[in-house]
Chains A and B, each alone.
Chain A
Amino acid sequence: MNANVISDQMNKDFVLAVEGLTVSFDGFKAVNDLSFYVDENEIRVIIGPNGAGKTTVLDLICGRTKATAGSIRFKERELTRMKEHEIVRAGVGRKFQNPSIYEDLTVFENLEISYPKGRTVRGALTFRRDAAVKERVQEVAETIFLADQLDQRAEYLSHGQKQWLEIGMLLIQDPELLMLDEPVAGMSVSERKKTAELLNRIIKDRSVIVIEHDMKFVEDIAHKVTVLHQGKILSEGSMAKVQADPKVIEVYLGH
Chain B
Amino acid sequence: MTTSAPTSGRTFFLRPQDMIGIAILAILLVVVLPLTLDNFRLQFVGKYLTYAFVALGLVLCWGYAGILSLGQGVFFGLGGYCMAMFLKLEASSVENTKIQTTPGIPDFMDWNQITELPLMWQPFNNLGLTIVAVILVPALFAFIVGFAMFKRRVGGVYFAIITQALAAILTILIVGQQGYTGGINGITDLRTLHGWDIRTDAAKTILYFVCVGLLIACILLAYYVKSSKLGRILVAMRDKEDRVRFSGYDVASFKVFVFCLAASLSAIGGAMFTLQVGFMSPSFVGIVPSIEMVIYTAVGGRLSILGAIYGTLLVNWAKTSFSESFPELWLFGLGGLFIAVVLIFPNGLAGLWQTYVAPRLGPLFGGSAKRAAAPAVAE
Contact = CB atoms under 8 A, between A and B. Distances in A.
B377 A169 contact: no
Contact of B6 (A114, A125, A151): A151
A162 to B, nearest CB: 11
B31 to A, nearest CB: 33
A151 B250 CA distance: 27
A101 interface: yes
Contact of B242 (A96, A104, A116, A124): A96
A137 B2 CA distance: 13
Contacts of B253: 120-121
A124 B254 contact: yes
B361 to A, nearest CB: 22
B242 A100 contact: yes
B1 A64 contact: no
Given A104-B239, A150-B3, A121 B257 contact: yes
A75 interface: no
Interface string B223-256: 0010011101101101110111111111101100
Interface in A135-167: 137-138, 147-148, 150-151, 153, 166
A127 interface: yes
A108 interface: yes
A119 B251 CA distance: 10
Given A104-B235, A124-B233, A153 B374 contact: yes
B4 interface: yes
Interface string A102-131: 111110111011101011110011110100
Contacts of B245: 84-85, 88
A114 B235 contact: no
Contacts of A134: 3, 7, 9
Contact of A147 (B1, B244, B246): B1
B228 A127 contact: yes
Contacts of A84: 245-246
A169 B249 CA distance: 14
B233 A113 contact: yes
A85 B242 contact: no
B376 interface: yes
Contact of B229 (A106, A110, A113): A113
Nearest to B253: A121
A177 interface: no
A83 interface: yes
A89 interface: yes
A100 to B, nearest CB: 4
Interface in A2-58: none
Contacts of A148: 1-2
B250 A83 contact: yes
Contact of A102 (B9, B240, B257, B376): B240
Interface residues on A, range: 35 or more
A102 B235 contact: yes
Contact of A125 (B225, B239, B250, B377): B225
A225 interface: no
B242 A113 contact: no
Nearest to B251: A85
A165 B374 CA distance: 20
A21 to B, nearest CB: 19
B235 A105 contact: yes
Contacts of B249: 85, 119
Given A85-B250, A88-B247, A100 B236 contact: no
A125 B2 contact: no
A149 B233 CA distance: 20
A126 B228 CA distance: 7
A94 interface: yes
A180 interface: no
A173 interface: yes
A112 B236 CA distance: 11
A113 B7 contact: no
Contacts of B4: 151
A57 to B, nearest CB: 15
Given A119-B248, A121-B253, A151 B2 contact: yes
A127 B229 contact: yes
A62 interface: yes
Contacts of B243: 96, 100-102, 166, 169
B376 A104 contact: yes
Contacts of A83: 250
B236 A151 contact: no
A112 B2 contact: no
Contacts of A118: 229
A81 B9 CA distance: 39
24 contacts: A85-B246, A85-B251, A88-B245, A96-B242, A100-B242, A100-B243, A101-B240, A105-B232, A105-B235, A105-B239, A105-B377, A108-B7, A119-B249, A120-B250, A120-B253, A124-B230, A125-B228, A126-B228, A127-B230, A134-B9, A150-B2, A150-B7, A151-B7, A166-B243
Interface of A: 62, 64, 83-85, 88-89, 93-94, 96, 100-106, 108-110, 112-114, 116, 118-121, 124-127, 129, 134, 137-138, 147-148, 150-151, 153, 166, 169, 173
- Minimum-distance CB pairs A-B, first 4: A88-B248, A124-B230, A127-B229, A102-B236
Given A121-B230, A125-B230, 15 more contacts: A85-B245, A85-B248, A88-B247, A88-B248, A93-B246, A94-B246, A102-B240, A106-B6, A106-B7, A125-B228, A127-B229, A127-B230, A138-B1, A153-B374, A169-B243
